[in-house]
Amino acid sequence: MSFCQYCGSPIGENDRFCSKCGKPVPAKTDTASSPPPSLVQTSLLETNEVIFQKYIGSYPPHWSIQDSEGNKIGEVIGFIDHHHLGLKVIDNSGKLLATSLQSKLFDLHGEFVITSPDGSELGTLRRTNIGVGLGVPLVFTIEQNDQEYLQILSGTDGGIWKRNYQMEMNKVPVVIIRKIVYSWTELKFSVSITGDVDHRLILSAIPTIDHGIDLMREER
């Protein structure tokens, strides 16, 4: 089956115009039967360049996950379980990939436990320093079996909610997180995964930290 190169709708074999958008159908080529790139399903767990977008003030908290071309490939949705915040990472098909659940209040040395859909623990996210002043980085760790798996470090420039981050494994950067839009209504940041890491942990930890920073900002 062929697809319209403008809107992605199916096109009949003898159609000269798209029945949905009305655009002319080009002459057939070897690639005419392939959906346009924006409609191709992308595996969230195999994508190393993604963009998180959140509209500040949304409740429950919600993040859209997009590929580098702006196509939505997943989302993170917040929920409350016995007064503890939880976050679910979901791909475009609606499949649950991971859950991050608050085990203690996310202040000072609070923590979140990240689990797979079957409930098995993937890791524990903890904040390991207390200082939030100018020039003081925020430091988090992700632990597996009580051993450090990743260390997460913020930059030191500007307010804590405007900083860039990087994740390190054995002091080698494996994930770079850069804020690209920050306003009172919208937050958008790019994520580059450069190392061999569990994407489920990365996709869970980033919005968890972001929401924790929002809480710290409200408390200040």
- Give per-residue pLDDT as tens, 69-80: 889 999 999 888
Helix count and strand count (H, E) for the chain = 1, 14
Within the chain, all domains assigned CATH 2.40.160.200 are found at 44-219
Say if residues 165 and 52 touch (Cβ distance below 8 Å): no
Q: Which residues of 5-22 are buried (b: 16+ CB within 10 A; e: fewer)?
A: beeeeebeeeeeebeeee
216: Cα within 13 Å, side-chain hemisphere = 21
Burial class (CB in 10 A: 0-12, 13-18, 19+), 191: buried
pLDDT at residue 219, as a whole number: 38
- Beta-strand ranges (E) seen in the chain are 2-3, 10-11, 49-55, 62-67, 72-81, 84-91, 96-102, 111-115, 121-127, 139-144, 147-154, 165-169, 172-182, 186-193
**pTM above the 0.85 mark?**
no
**CATH fold label, 44-219:** Porin (2.40.160)
Q: How confident is the model at residue 42 (pLDDT cuts 50, 70, 90)?
A: low
Higher pLDDT, 217 or 179: 179
